Structure 1
Amino acid sequence: MSSLLSQQLPTAAAVAVRTADTVSDAVRRRVAERGECVLALTGGNTPTEAYRLLATHDLPWRSVHVVQTDDRVLPEAETGSNWRMICETLLDPAGVPQERRHPMPVRTDDPAAAAAGYAKLLASLTPTGSADVVLLQLGPDGHLASLFADRHDPADPSGVALTSTVDGALRMTQTLPALSGAGVRIVMATGAGKTEAVAKLVDATADTLAARTFLGTDGLLLLDAEAAGPGR
């Protein structure tokens, strides 16, 4: 698949197992090296089973900071829907300490200030401001996190920015430089609905350039046979 580092697995269930194992190994390795690990997690449907599996791994959660890649800004909600899913499938079952959980501050009357504050938090957790391990999923249109084609600055130095979906929903997201600065970068893609996005990713078309930049040559794309499509 071009210069991408990828692993094609037969089913979505197999992708979930490989994802959980890969994240688990990376977290253990980083804690052993640095004493702590910052793990950035995405929302959506694709990673839910991987999170449930990861919750069964014996990890040093007291040495892990869990942060978000992106979420929807909902002033009336306590937390974003992505964070709620992460808690229900991973953090609560695994018993991750509350002080190690860092949701994006989506309940706010000043989203710009909230985004800047989250960027400062990330900068306080690692020397570079980037997480050690980042897990993302590939959207059907090729987007990662809330980095939609033509709706983000690929060189944005702020660390955390605001953007919007095509229907105008306000999103908070880590920027492409922040996400790409992680030492371990993983993208999941499962199901026939991702086939077109995977094909575009391989061909490096404009609407998947964020994904190509994020993966680079040493990021890992995990996909099932349906997402890979025929002939791959």
Structure 2
Amino acid sequence: MANKVWHRFSSGPHLAEALADAVAGRLDAAIKTRGAALLAVSGGSTPPPFFRSLSRRKLDWRRVTVTLVDERFVPPSSERSNARLAARHLLQNEAARAEFVPLYHEADNVEEAAKKADRMIAALPLPLDVAVLGMGTDGHTASFFPDARGLSELLSEERRHVLPVHAPSAKEPRLTLSLPLLCGAGLIVLHIEGEEKKKAFEAAFAESAEAEAPIHTLVSRAATPVQIYWAPSAAKSDPAAPATP
């Protein structure tokens, strides 16, 4: 498939710096072109070194809005909160001046929280300028888990920007940006590290794959080639960071 471009690095720290440069460059271009920039980032144990590098880049961060690719239905006080992760590692230094729009909202259930988040995301200066995605060894990306309830409907939803997700493997209910919103980003990055993730990605595109993995669906529908940033070993992360989704 030609809709993906590999960027291979010798180590996680080298990857973090290069990815921060690429994302900062795209955000700066958006600010100069339309006066604002919109960035969506993922959680897990892989992004913190990249977040810290990006937070030090010189940008007009007051014109940057940061949101999340997906989120667990937990408050920001939880160690499993992606909003907490972003606040701790990204919304620091120069990037402390950015606006942050969360996906989690206090509600009776994840469906109501998703409706609130959908209204907030719809009010942003869409489309996304940058979406930085992760991937699990099961081939999920964002919160599109292979065992998610109604996965095919979730992947085909075009009317809403934020969707509620229930999947046994996800532990908590989740909130995720819709596939069309992610696929329409100006720069789509898949940030993965380690041989296991690389093998899982390659397996998702193998002819012998029994079913189409969510990451395969996203790459095939992306409006621009997905930029895959990979290193054989991860950059040193914060031991308190939530586990990779």
Task: Give the structure-2-normalised TM-score.
Answer: 0.82
The structural deviation recorded for 1:214 is 5.7
Give 1:120's aligned residue.
119
Q: Does 1:221 align with 2:220?
A: no
User: For residues 202 and 78 of structure 2, what CA distance do their matches in structure 1 show?
Assistant: 38
Alignment CA distance shift 1:76-1:42 (3 Å): closer
Give 1:165's aligned residue.
167
User: For residues 79 and 65 of structure 1, what CA distance do their matches in structure 2 show?
Assistant: 23
Alignment CA distance shift 1:194-1:35 (3 Å): same
Give 1:210's aligned residue.
217
Residue identity matched to 2:197: K
1:154-212 C-alpha deviation (Å, 9 max, x unpaired): 11121111112324420011111111111111111101231322212443741132342
1:58-84 C-alpha deviation (Å, 9 max, x unpaired): 111100111111111026957961111
Q: Does 1:149 align with 2:146?
A: yes
Task: Give the structure-1-normalised TM-score.
Answer: 0.86
Q: 2:188 aligns with which of 185, 189, 204?
A: 185
Query: Which secondary structure state, in structure 2, belongs to the residue aligned with residue 67 of structure 1?
Result: strand
Query: Which secondary structure state, in structure 1, belongs to the residue aligned with residue 96 of structure 2?
Result: coil
The structural deviation recorded for 1:52 is 0.5
Give 2:48's aligned residue.
48
1:136-155 C-alpha deviation (Å, 9 max, x unpaired): 11222121111112523211
Number of aligned positions between the proteins: 224
Identity of aligned residues (%): 26
The structural deviation recorded for 1:2 is 5.3
Q: Does 1:174 align with 2:183?
A: no
Once structures 1 and 2 are overlaid, which stretch shifts more, 110-119 or 81-90? Answer: 110-119
User: Structure 2 unaligned runs (5+)?
Assistant: 235-245
Q: CA RMSD in A?
A: 2.4
Query: Which secondary structure state, in structure 2, belongs to the residue aligned with residue 135 of structure 1?
Result: strand
Residue identity matched to 1:213: S
User: For residues 20 and 177 of structure 2, what CA distance do their matches in structure 1 show?
Assistant: 22
Give 1:88's aligned residue.
88
Query: Which secondary structure state, in structure 1, belongs to the residue aligned with residue 123 of structure 2?
Result: helix
1:74-113 C-alpha deviation (Å, 9 max, x unpaired): 2695796111111111103335237x11111243214223
User: Structure 1 unaligned runs (5+)?
Assistant: 228-232
Once structures 1 and 2 are overlaid, which stretch shifts more, 70-79 or 182-191? Answer: 70-79
